[in-house]
Amino acid sequence: MLITKRNSLDALADNALNPDHSKPASATSRWLLWATVAIACLLATFFVVRHVQAAADPYVQEVLALQGDRDRGQEIFQMNCAVCHGIEADGEVGPSLLGVSARKSKSKLIQQVVSGNTPPMPQFQPEAKDMADLLEYLEQL
């Protein structure tokens, strides 16, 4: 049973590496294929775990539960962020944020502001309401 299973896995690898069956796949290329599959699974798990952790963060939850005010968010942005991202958020020393919500989810945007993980962008600690307003502004860019 076990042997059959292993053989069928090998056949699968053979097929993936060698669709025209011209020559059997070498042990090295099989090994590389399985190593790639294993790494892809690990990476996928890592990103899913990170995503779930970010979304489960109590601060993120608190912000997401609030209705943001875009105009107030714009004022907060102009006072705290415009120096790097430009008064219209179209980029200065920091990148343009136009259309940023297409690239980053709400919880990613919050993390970006509060984490301090990407220097030189500083770590901000806005009140949840301020963050909700800022988020509303960022989402509409």
* Positions that interact with ligand HEC (CB under 6 A): 77, 80-81, 83-85, 94-95, 97, 100, 103-104, 109, 112-113, 118, 120-122, 124, 134, 138
User: Of 132 and 134, which has the nearer Cβ to ligand HEC?
Assistant: 134
Exposure of 134 by Cβ count < 10 A (0-12 exposed, 13-18 middle, 19+ buried)?
Answer: buried
User: Of 25 and 63, which has the nearer Cβ to ligand HEC?
Assistant: 63
- Give the up-direction half-sphere exposure of residue 13: CA atoms within 13 A in the CB hemisphere: 20
CB of 69 to ligand HEC, least distance (A): 15
User: Of 132 and 138, which has the nearer Cβ to ligand HEC?
Assistant: 138
CB of 133 to ligand HEC, least distance (A): 11
How many C-beta atoms surround the C-beta of residue 53 within 10 A? 12
CB of 17 to ligand HEC, least distance (A): 37
Can you state the angle between helices 128-139 and 58-65, rounded to 10 degrees?
A: 70
Per DSSP, the three-state class of 141 is coil
Type of residue at 111: Q
